[in-house]
Structure 1
Amino acid sequence: LEAARLAGERLNTLADNAPGALFIFLISPDGRFELPYFSAKLPALMGLSRAEIEADASALMTRVAPDHIRALRQAIAASRRGLTPFEMRLRVCRPEGGFRSVLVASLPFSREDGTVVWYGNVFDITDRLDAERRAAEAAEEGRRVHERLSSVAMIAPVGLYEFRRQADGSIDFPYTTPKFEDIMGLTREEIDMRGGDVLRRIDPEDLPHVLASIEDSARDLTLWSQRFRIRHPERGLIWLSGASAPRRQEDGTILWAGALHDVTGDVQREAELRQAHRLAEAMRAENERQALHDGLTGLPNRRFYDRVLSSRIEAARAGQGPRDCVLIRIDLDHFKYVNDTLGHEAGDRVLIRVAEVLRQMLRAVDFVARIGGDEFSILLGPDMNQDNARELVERVQGALSRPLTYEGRLCRFGASFGIAHTGDITELGAELQLFADAALYRAKEGGRNRMEFFTAELHRNILNDRRIAVELHEALERDEFEPFFQPQIAAEDGRLVGAETLLRWRHPEKGLLSPDDFMHVAEQLRIVPEIDRIMMRKTRSALARWQDQGLVLPKISFNVSSGRMHDPDVVSLARSMAGGGTKVTFELLESILVEEESDAFRFHLDQIREAGIDIEIDDFGSGHASIIGVMEIAPKALKIDRRIVRPVACDMRSRNLVRAIIEIAETLGIATVAEGVETEEQAKILRGVGCQVLQGYLFSHPLDEGDFLAFTRADLKKRA
């Protein structure tokens, strides 16, 4: 008996000191619950006294969370029926400790009388579940951070990192890339071991500022960005630039994700640049004098010229200088040809030669400057007039006409001169330059290598252009631009095969104006693109209205410059018209074939064709384009220039030229259109030599939308 007693005590001691609580639980056949045995830890686990459990085993149920009661009863019933092991996690509420999680596990056995007995244990797993949850959260966060950074870290030339400051102020670097570790001169293990002491590697002079910036970023959650120095164990003192974005975690932790870059080389270069800037500033005063002269010719440059002209105007207004002034503007003719054929060194020799001539021809009181690539300006001294200017220009022209050779080859060039004279510069001021430019423009238009004086007529033209400029802006606001349409007729049977869209301005006072009256000003104002869009939108609307009234125009043509043909708006508007049986055609000037021989130009042509738009060459025969150029462009048709068409009835050379153009077009599989057809005789000859389409006053002047519709209906009645 003593041995049995001792054994029982040992077993109870073991049970009471086991990790969990042991118990024996039974249910009698009549459903009565009993707890004949439980170890000392069970009451504490369940928040009950031993007496309460011994008095009523079902008291244990009062500590189970209400939402677990039903599942617990079902699990007990299932274990009783099938005598299967019972295991379940429960939440129990203890008066002094709130909810705790416990794991209950037991094995059932059946007695002969039908009683089922469970032998089991209860473990408090609250701390384990919390640890598992924290571990899962940390693992998930680590996975997200790793996925986010690893893809960048593989290719980034900077060191990537995450810098974390806990709510208690402790800091660490939970993530760093190998590049970051190399920049800081620390291994990953050293970073983990040092934690916040990693920042001690920052130079002592920079550390306080870096720490203060971290505090500012943490307080306001603003981007952190700093440049600072560190003491690298191998490279010594180096400069780093860091930037990172903070975010606050739920637990109060602040995490910065960012990048670190070695900028030592940049800092050195910046220091060198600052030093160079200081040297440059020190030399500026001396360089200022040299900066007023052209390095190639030695003549005063544009800056010096502007100063001299401004000083002359101010002196005249102050009554301290002459009021009269003669300004001569010079522009070299065919200078680009010299550069393109003989090279830029030959072009430099030409400029030097011009400068030498001007120096020789001018007096000490005259002023000459090179104001642009091949442009020069001369301000004559006081008491000079137009006759004096003419004599000077003639002498300069004579000197420039003498041959200039470069490496045994003759450099041929000339110069155009624009001359403006005023008796009182205070009235014109700097506008005198505009007058000289206008005269120079007329000289170049008139055939080059000549001089022109600014006249009252030129002045009127300038004033007129200014007035037109104002009116053009008003015309855009008042929607005064309209498309007119000139029919294109099949030479063989006289049927309508298309129309060319022509711009007209319905001026409120001057009536209907053609582009010749205002387009040169529109180009200077750079409003041609807007006018083109208006014409195409209005033409699109006219086509739609004509279709509603039974007119389907086979083709509509637009004059388009090379600079506008790839405009997305223009192409889009043309594409929107290319439905309903109407073909859209862009007419490009033949001169474009000579001037635009680039890959970009051909690429734009391909894009236009892909958009379903045809290309025709306008004014063919005036631009000296090569047959190879025509073959490469592969237009749909050639429009023969009206200056060739006009004399075909009386000039055999013109007739033969037209025939030759048509034969070339037929050989290349290209159609031909003759514009400017005004007489039946011209039409008959053009038809006879094989021209396919005719356009001109013989058939119709350009018509507005309504008149064009009436023309087509009248033509249909006549043909019927």
Structure 2
Amino acid sequence: MPVKKAHPEAESPQGDAELAERESRWNHALVGSGLGVWDHNYRLNRKYYSPTWKTIRGMAPDEEVAGDYDAWLQLVHPDDRDFVAHAIERQNAGDPDYQIFQYRERHRDGHWVWIDCRGACVEWDENGVPTRVVGTDIDITARKEAEETLSRLSRRLDLALEISRIGVFEADIENDTVEWDDRLIAIYGLQGASHQIAGDAWAKSLHPDDRERVLGLAGRSVESGSDFQQEYRIIRGDGVERIIRARSAFFVDGNGQRKLIGANWDVTEDVALRNELQRAKDLAEARNRELEAAKESIERLALHDYLTDLPNRRYLDKMLDERSAECRAKGLALAILHIDLDRFKQINDTLGHRAGDAMLQHAANVLRHSVRAADFVARIGGDEFVILCAVDPASKKIGSLAQRIIRELRKPVRYEGHDCRFGASIGIAVDNGARLDAKQILLDADIALYRAKGLGRNRFEFFSASARRDIISAKRLADEILIGLERHEFVPFYQLQFDARTLDVTGVETLARWQHPRHGLLTPDRFLDIAEDLDVVSTIDALILERALADRRAWITDSLSVPKISVNVSARRLADPDLGKKLRALKIEPGAVAFELLESISLDDCDEAVAANLKKLRKLGIDIQIDDFGTGHASIVSLLRLSPKTLKIDRELIRMLPQSAEQRKLVGSIIDIGRSLNILVIAEGVETEDHIRILDELDCDMLQGYALARPMPAMQIPSFVRAGSWRQGQTAARALQAHLSRELPSRATK
């Protein structure tokens, strides 16, 4: 208790004795209670403070108290100072409302001490004025701190419940009563209801579809004393449906009563969000599955042929490395079969691409059923397939597999009423060992395939070192051909053509030669096949034509008359849609040039492009000659349709004329056919005087061969023609005699 103002009245000796006695009695009673006793006797102007009172404030028990009220008041906490001054005044006045009050006072060591002050007036004067006030102070700092901690925790809990919108209830199981807090009442929409809620209020609020399930769970929880946790729907007091999440637990209170405390919170939005997230997740997973499926589909499409569903070239490249590693690890050999369909193009050209696609699908099925499950089959483009087989190095079964595939593919395939027949050529390469290289084996199989097709097709060939050398040589020659075109190494040679009766020069055939820098002058048999593979034959034809026209102009300038030059034309050049435009640019003199067409490419199978170009040639004044006639399959009808200017009888028919009467009859028949159709006839391969004589007797129009002139470069033509060496000897005499014999009868008839 603080030091209080002294009462103005003096105290009597008798009163002092009684006060001392009474104070002694209180002191003994309260010494062990922890209460600091204070006694203010205003009548005697005497104040007493017990040792405990001093200890509470950090004073020594025997320390004297100054008793200065204003000084003491400064020790009171600033926030409590006005209140304390008022409370003391009211307590001194005997106001019962201020018999107990609490405040903070600074301890001797500087901290604040909470003091519970309890005081009351015990003596009054004759006017009813309090003359003595006695009381106790007790240090309640620990209690205050506990209360503050509890208050702080309570505030935190209340704030947390408020923020999370959690409602709390407490149920008395024995008495069947339930107390809800305001938040829980708001959650269930029971505004206006008291905190004491009827026991069945909760059950009635449950959604009808959830009631049986939830009440059953709650009942079992009460029976077993286990915690209750559930999510359910309710129908609020305002009729709105909400979703509640509930948790509760049992406890026994201080009176031994079994109770249940629980929390409910509205999770409607959470559930909606959860459901939305779940839907989004399901949708994302569905889309991921679709993407995975699409990815797998794309990967499959990227690695498989769309038509046959076989692996494609890209997949093959991947498998080459895998199978190489597998064979090296297991000590196996890797066999590669490169398969190319024979006569497939004819089916495409005659029955259309749908028929061709059907044949490719049939071939794919044959290959699938011909190999083992572990073998790999791929279509690498067009009508080409590849098989990879891992086999024992000593195995001889690869040849049998190839033979079986060829046998199956040769069987006719029925398609829309047609029996389609095709075959297969197969190249095989096998290798094993630590240096096994699948890509090299594939190249070797390709070389073997090239050899199989060259040997007649519908067969298989194993790779050999000699085949590789041939391929390398062909590749080198192909490179040299392309370089030769750039360097203008392809030049024309000319073989003169002569009148069979007079042996006068009637023209020249232009022949392509390759002036090779290392091998010298090469004839077409050394380079034509490879040039065709390179698709440069038409380029060579065009170059030779330009050079021949230039040489002819030079001869004319040199006063040498060469009536006509003939040049070979390839099938591809004849089908060129721009051929007419290119020839017009050369400004060819009408009748000065003839194009020689092989019988096999010019007659019965002329397509629209070829037929159109033949018409353009005639308009440009370019004659058509049929080369190598008699060795192909031309018909009289096709000769009539084509209307060539000249036929050239193949040298094979001319060679045996002196020895074979049948050959002479055949050649004579061809000459007669030509004359009947107004077509000139040239005989090639005239190598002896007997050839000249017999052909003259058969009324052949023109001759060409070594017996008269060999092929020569342009620069030699003028001197050769002026020398006339082909007329020397008996050849010239016979020619003159034959000429006179024809002329005399005709003059006699005039």
Q: Tell me the TM-score range normalised by the shorter chain.
A: 0.5 to 0.7
Secondary structure in structure 2 of the residue aligned to 1:371: strand
Q: TM-score scaled to structure 1, two decimals?
A: 0.54
Rate the CA distance shift 1:628–1:292 in 2: closer, same or farther, 3 A. farther
Q: 2:688 corresponds to which residue?
A: 679
Aligned-partner Cα distance in 2 for 1:591–1:386: 45
Q: Does 1:629 align with 2:638?
A: yes
Q: Does 1:307 align with 2:323?
A: no
Q: 2:481 corresponds to which residue?
A: 472
Q: Does 1:670 align with 2:679?
A: yes
Maintained 8 Å contact 2:629/2:649: yes
Rate the CA distance shift 1:476–1:443 in 2: closer, same or farther, 3 A. same
Q: Does 1:460 align with 2:469?
A: yes
Maintained 8 Å contact 1:483/1:539: yes
Aligned-partner Cα distance in 1 for 2:380–2:348: 19
Q: 1:357 corresponds to which residue?
A: 366
Rate the CA distance shift 1:283–1:442 in 2: closer, same or farther, 3 A. same
Maintained 8 Å contact 1:594/1:623: no
Aligned-partner Cα distance in 2 for 1:477–1:370: 37
Cα distance, 1:549 vs structure 2: 2.8
User: Which residue of 471, 485, 490 maps to 1:481?
Assistant: 490
Q: Number of aligned pairs?
A: 438
Aligned-partner Cα distance in 1 for 2:663–2:462: 37
Q: 1:451 corresponds to which residue?
A: 460
Rate the CA distance shift 1:486–1:346 in 2: closer, same or farther, 3 A. same
- Which 10-residue stretch deviates more, 452-461 or 554-563? 452-461
| Unpaired segments ≥5 residues, structure 1 | 1-277
User: Which residue of 661, 664, 668 maps to 1:659?
Assistant: 668
Aligned-partner Cα distance in 2 for 1:677–1:407: 52
Rate the CA distance shift 1:569–1:536 in 2: closer, same or farther, 3 A. farther
Q: 1:57 corresponds to which residue?
A: none
Cα distance, 1:650 vs structure 2: 3.8
Secondary structure in structure 1 of the residue aligned to 2:406: helix
Q: Does 1:567 align with 2:576?
A: no
Aligned-partner Cα distance in 1 for 2:346–2:480: 39
Q: Which amino acid aligns with 1:509?
A: R
Q: 2:566 corresponds to which residue?
A: 557
Cα distance, 1:554 vs structure 2: 1.0
* Residues 636-670 of structure 1: CA deviation (Å, up to 9, x unaligned): 11222233333344445544443343333223221
Aligned-partner Cα distance in 1 for 2:651–2:320: 47
Cα distance, 1:486 vs structure 2: 0.9
User: Which residue of 306, 319, 340 maps to 1:331?
Assistant: 340
Maintained 8 Å contact 1:325/1:425: no
Q: Which amino acid aligns with 1:585?
A: A
Rate the CA distance shift 1:312–1:655 in 2: closer, same or farther, 3 A. farther
Rate the CA distance shift 1:422–1:685 in 2: closer, same or farther, 3 A. farther
Aligned-partner Cα distance in 2 for 1:519–1:280: 54
Cα distance, 1:513 vs structure 2: 0.8
* Residues 265-314 of structure 1: CA deviation (Å, up to 9, x unaligned): xxxxxxxxxxxxx9999724324225544455443334433332354457
Cα distance, 1:460 vs structure 2: 1.6
Aligned-partner Cα distance in 2 for 1:357–1:299: 12
Secondary structure in structure 1 of the residue aligned to 2:381: coil
Aligned-partner Cα distance in 1 for 2:395–2:623: 53
* Residues 87-115 of structure 1: CA deviation (Å, up to 9, x unaligned): xxxxxxxxxxxxxxxxxxxxxxxxxxxxx
1:684-695 equivalent positions in 2, closer than 5 A? 684-695=693-704
Q: Does 1:617 align with 2:626?
A: yes
Cα distance, 1:555 vs structure 2: 1.0
Rate the CA distance shift 1:409–1:502 in 2: closer, same or farther, 3 A. closer
Q: 2:398 corresponds to which residue?
A: 389
Rate the CA distance shift 1:536–1:398 in 2: closer, same or farther, 3 A. closer
* Residues 98-133 of structure 1: CA deviation (Å, up to 9, x unaligned): xxxxxxxxxxxxxxxxxxxxxxxxxxxxxxxxxxxx
Rate the CA distance shift 1:309–1:703 in 2: closer, same or farther, 3 A. same
Aligned-partner Cα distance in 1 for 2:501–2:374: 72
User: Which residue of 289, 296, 305 maps to 1:285?
Assistant: 296
Secondary structure in structure 2 of the residue aligned to 1:325: strand
* Residues 220-258 of structure 1: CA deviation (Å, up to 9, x unaligned): xxxxxxxxxxxxxxxxxxxxxxxxxxxxxxxxxxxxxxx
* Residues 149-172 of structure 1: CA deviation (Å, up to 9, x unaligned): xxxxxxxxxxxxxxxxxxxxxxxx
1:118-197 equivalent positions in 2, closer than 5 A? none
Rate the CA distance shift 1:685–1:321 in 2: closer, same or farther, 3 A. farther
Q: 1:209 corresponds to which residue?
A: none
Rate the CA distance shift 1:652–1:351 in 2: closer, same or farther, 3 A. farther
Q: Which amino acid aligns with 1:388?
A: K
Q: Which amino acid aligns with 1:684?
A: R
Aligned-partner Cα distance in 2 for 1:501–1:636: 17
Maintained 8 Å contact 2:580/2:613: no
Maintained 8 Å contact 2:681/2:700: yes
User: Which residue of 482, 505, 514 maps to 2:514?
Assistant: 505
Aligned-partner Cα distance in 2 for 1:675–1:426: 56
Secondary structure in structure 2 of the residue aligned to 1:419: strand
Aligned-partner Cα distance in 2 for 1:613–1:516: 27
Q: Does 1:494 align with 2:503?
A: yes
Q: Does 1:602 align with 2:614?
A: no
Aligned-partner Cα distance in 2 for 1:488–1:284: 71
- Which structure has the bigger radius of gyration? 2
Rate the CA distance shift 1:360–1:527 in 2: closer, same or farther, 3 A. closer
1:412-451 equivalent positions in 2, closer than 5 A? 412-423=421-432, 430-451=439-460
Q: Does 1:542 align with 2:554?
A: no
Q: 2:708 corresponds to which residue?
A: 699
Cα distance, 1:710 vs structure 2: 2.7
* Residues 322-352 of structure 1: CA deviation (Å, up to 9, x unaligned): 6843222222223344455666666555444
Aligned-partner Cα distance in 2 for 1:681–1:486: 20
Maintained 8 Å contact 1:332/1:414: yes
Maintained 8 Å contact 1:487/1:702: yes
Rate the CA distance shift 1:384–1:480 in 2: closer, same or farther, 3 A. same
Q: 1:518 corresponds to which residue?
A: 527
Cα distance, 1:509 vs structure 2: 2.1
Aligned-partner Cα distance in 2 for 1:326–1:413: 25
Maintained 8 Å contact 1:313/1:426: no
Rate the CA distance shift 1:309–1:647 in 2: closer, same or farther, 3 A. farther
Maintained 8 Å contact 2:406/2:425: no
Aligned-partner Cα distance in 2 for 1:392–1:520: 32
Maintained 8 Å contact 2:412/2:422: no
Aligned-partner Cα distance in 2 for 1:428–1:489: 61
Q: 1:225 corresponds to which residue?
A: none
Secondary structure in structure 2 of the residue aligned to 1:635: coil
Secondary structure in structure 2 of the residue aligned to 1:612: coil
Cα distance, 1:501 vs structure 2: 0.9
Rate the CA distance shift 1:424–1:710 in 2: closer, same or farther, 3 A. farther
Aligned-pair RMSD on alpha carbons?
3.5
1:36-435 equivalent positions in 2, closer than 5 A? 283-290=294-301, 292-312=303-323, 324-339=333-348, 347=356, 350-384=359-393, 387-402=396-411, 404-406=413-415, 410-423=419-432, 430-435=439-444
Aligned-partner Cα distance in 2 for 1:689–1:628: 24
Cα distance, 1:370 vs structure 2: 2.7
Secondary structure in structure 1 of the residue aligned to 2:633: coil
* Residues 511-561 of structure 1: CA deviation (Å, up to 9, x unaligned): 111122223333444444543343233323322332233211111111112
Maintained 8 Å contact 1:575/1:611: no
Aligned-partner Cα distance in 1 for 2:692–2:448: 42
Q: Which amino acid aligns with 1:334?
A: R
Aligned-partner Cα distance in 1 for 2:532–2:351: 33
Maintained 8 Å contact 1:313/1:425: no
Secondary structure in structure 1 of the residue aligned to 2:518: coil
Maintained 8 Å contact 1:326/1:380: yes
